[in-house]
Amino acid sequence: MDTQAIRAQMPTLVCGHVPSNVRSFKFNIFDGQPKVSTLGFHIDPKPFEGKVIATTDEAIVVKTGRAEFAVLDRALVTEVPDEGTRVHVEPYARRRFDGQRADTPEERTEFTADGQPYTVKTLVLGSAPATLPIPEPRCPELQELIQQMEQLPAPDGYRRITHLLVDAEARDFTWVDPLPEDIIATPPAIGFSVDTAKFQGRVTVLYERGLDLYALELHRDGELVERVNEVFFDALGETLERLIDDGNWRRIRVQCLPGQKSVQH
């Protein structure tokens, strides 16, 4: 989507949908690019509702407030609604393995001096973790692999590697947590199943002690279909993206509200 052209067209597109006593209007563009806060943090947009007031070959314009609008990249929406339709829009947001948004505050239970429980919610600005569902390992190399997958960025620069796995529907995690003397015979590893348009099957990330590098294996129906050797830690995200990431996570979910009609995209 040509965002500069859309910005130039917006006064014409929203004409007639802004109150006469309002001198300006606001709009957000959703084109698959990450949003950044005024403090420089990546942020995950919230779902919203509105009315479709204009469509072009590239964009869908939704009125979300008195003088506020959202512009959706037509190539990314899951449905193309008719003008006049009220819609529920859910732009991409990073998520955890339990399905919650990654920016959901962490909750923990504390106790008062007399033993009464209370809930504490913690939110770190700019933080959107997706923690692997793996218990604390005893093997330092496995612990390091977990930390790298949780902290290293995916190639898009917006997600972490674990967000990439969530978007690939990673599940059924297994892990190998060897003792130091068994690290060569039974290398530390993390395995999981994924289901994307690019690959469906089991993925295993193995630590190779002799080379101090990683190897990635893809299995389907119990058979090895591809193995990538000598993967440096800083290439884990790039390699996983090439093997399993189909890009569908960028899609903008558009749902027509009850009683509305839409055209399938």
Q: Where are the domains of the chain?
A: 3-93, 131-248
The amino acid occupying position 113 is A
pLDDT at 265: 46
pLDDT at 100: 92
Question: Under CATH, which number does the domain 3-93 receive?
Answer: 2.40.50.140
Cβ atoms within 10 Å, residue 163 = 25
Q: How far is CA 84 from the centre of its chain?
A: 30
SS3 133: coil
pLDDT at 125: 60
pLDDT by 10s per residue, the chain, length 265: 888 999 999 999 999 899 888 889 999 999 988 888 777 788 899 999 999 999 999 999 999 999 999 999 999 999 999 999 999 999 999 999 999 998 887 777 888 888 888 787 766 666 789 999 999 999 999 999 999 999 999 999 899 999 999 999 999 999 999 998 898 889 999 999 999 999 999 999 999 887 889 999 999 999 999 999 999 999 999 999 999 999 999 999 999 998 655 454 4
Alpha-carbon dihedral angle through residues 186, 152, 127, 73, given to the nearest 10 degrees? -120
pLDDT at 115: 85
pLDDT at 7: 93
Cβ atoms within 10 Å, residue 12 = 9
